[in-house]
Structure 1
């Protein structure tokens, strides 16, 4: 996938957005495992698209889009990891050029299944380059040559890091304990969920801080109580939606069911609070792939009754 030189900037931008839209789920699977978080993985995707659009303005001709976007996502994830002062056991530019044994591994398919089923959060226990190679090969099914080009290392180095990463991942999975039990919902989230399920839109609007912000991927930022209040007007048109308190990666979130009888939620949203009012809403309605690989736990039923909400 590439953008031809003769096209205008607007055409190249449209082509990039079209390709990026197709690649978003894959970019997220990569970024989420690099970061160890499906939420942080979507931040990587958003930043990748913004940076790609900016860079496109300075290019007469864009490179092949898929590897270009993955390289931007890779570098952005590294930036975020470094900004958190995460200690990386193996720098990306200091990898030994070690190859696998000559004979192919007969358990290749099982190794790929293991990587796909491994919890997103466990990947951060791998050194960064092993992490990248295992994700690209075993989760996204990239070829060794494509991985080598993306990471700017030799194919033999890819093979070596793949073997070491797979071995380490087996150890991590063998030592992993069970997921923690779901926690009860906080009073604030329980109240929000109850108001929503009762379709009390005025009650929800009353919870908004004056400077509240709403972020929905691929949509313009909404800011201010009046503008964000329209968010509930849109939701009020769907009577089937049902919310439930939940936990994701240690963060309290809200699971959104498009039908109360659905076996699992369609997507999630999460809120930030300040002085008892909502200061920030992140809604994943338009990027549902975020929760495809998520370890989402529904909270015990602590939604207050109608009488509790009224008071």
Structure 2
């Protein structure tokens, strides 16, 4: 940049992205449903902010943050979906009648409520454009014209995808199976939970592999047993936290409650193990919104938590 005016300076970069963090929960609501996974959705959000910070170096003018970040998130999600070879395509037919943005229609409100209450994983059964349009319109309440601009299609095409997506989502919800019964926690997770609830921090540190890695959204990654061991030092300062084994999206995780009798978890974490020791920790402590949309299932008769569990 030595031969031209610098782009958005570093102080403004940090200020802009600090302001943009208020959009994280909304971005996650979109990305989680687009990916069909609260875990994958947060990965996309995390990557979106990393890419946005780099991109600001090349910009000479401050962008409108909301549409800019949504565009980055949308494109990143598409890249991931394409790499998994699950992208679906469909012909665009004549636009069907969809309620006008300026009118408050009871049927329209009912459709929006149904979409908001739908389990995140069910959106992945929609073709990609239907999925994007339904999420943007019915979950996030975006105007049709802005949806068209984000997706690069006409307003009539948005209406057509919305009508078909809503109809398909109703079929998916009608045919959806209930959440599976909770399973028995693995010995490794049960041991971790027991040591944590006993506040045995040295016992937990002893479980760490020498090359263990820790990832927490909005914080730099940590690696190595000594550095990751600080993870427990931080948790030791939080009185009353209580852990329970749980499952989300088929993955065994650990639900974190504010106290032992709290009615629902405030976040969760998941661990990877190698030869009986922890090789990776993914902790969602600083992004509690991930848990808001997660379908967390607890052992025994403790029940399930999250949106769309019906």
TM-score, structure 1 normalization: 0.90
Unaligned runs of 5+ in 2: 302-310
Structure 1: distance between partners of 2:190 and 2:135: 37
- Contact 2:24 2:45 (C-alpha < 8 Å) held by counterparts: yes
* Superposed displacement of residue 103, structure 1: 6.4
Structure 2: distance between partners of 1:230 and 1:14: 26
Structure 1: distance between partners of 2:20 and 2:40: 18
* Superposed displacement of residue 7, structure 1: 8.3
Aligned alpha-carbon RMSD (Å): 1.7
1:54 and 2:57 correspond: no
Match in the other structure for 2:178: 178
Structure 1: distance between partners of 2:193 and 2:211: 21
Match in the other structure for 1:35: 35
* Superposed displacement of residue 233, structure 1: 1.0
- Contact 1:37 1:249 (C-alpha < 8 Å) held by counterparts: yes
Match in the other structure for 2:203: 203
CA 1:185–1:57: 2 relative to 1, 3 Å: same
CA 1:207–1:150: 2 relative to 1, 3 Å: same
Match in the other structure for 1:101: 97
CA 1:103–1:188: 2 relative to 1, 3 Å: closer
CA 1:162–1:201: 2 relative to 1, 3 Å: same
Unaligned runs of 5+ in 1: 302-311
Structure 1: distance between partners of 2:94 and 2:293: 31
Secondary structure of the equivalent of 1:57? Answer: helix
* Superposed displacement of residue 179, structure 1: 0.8
- Contact 1:185 1:299 (C-alpha < 8 Å) held by counterparts: yes
1:250-286 Cα shifts (integer Å, max 9, x gaps): 0000000111111000000000001110000011000
- Contact 2:245 2:253 (C-alpha < 8 Å) held by counterparts: yes
CA 1:277–1:154: 2 relative to 1, 3 Å: same
Q: Which runs of 4+ in 1 moved over 6 A?
A: none
* Superposed displacement of residue 101, structure 1: 2.5
CA 1:151–1:103: 2 relative to 1, 3 Å: closer
Match in the other structure for 2:234: 234
- Contact 1:98 1:159 (C-alpha < 8 Å) held by counterparts: no
Number of residue equivalences = 293
Match in the other structure for 2:288: 288
* Superposed displacement of residue 204, structure 1: 0.4
1:192 and 2:192 correspond: yes
TM-score, structure 2 normalization: 0.91
Q: Where does 1:205-220 land on structure 2 (aligned, <5 Å)? A: 205-220=205-220
* Superposed displacement of residue 132, structure 1: 0.2
Structure 1: distance between partners of 2:21 and 2:144: 25
Match in the other structure for 2:158: 158
* Superposed displacement of residue 225, structure 1: 0.2
Structure 2: distance between partners of 1:97 and 1:180: 38
Structure 1: distance between partners of 2:290 and 2:94: 35
* Superposed displacement of residue 15, structure 1: 3.1
1:90-139 Cα shifts (integer Å, max 9, x gaps): 3xxxx526322276565100000000000000001100000000000000
* Superposed displacement of residue 166, structure 1: 0.2
Match in the other structure for 1:79: 79
* Superposed displacement of residue 236, structure 1: 1.1
Match in the other structure for 1:261: 261
Secondary structure of the equivalent of 1:107? Answer: helix
Structure 1: distance between partners of 2:270 and 2:144: 38
Structure 1: distance between partners of 2:264 and 2:83: 34
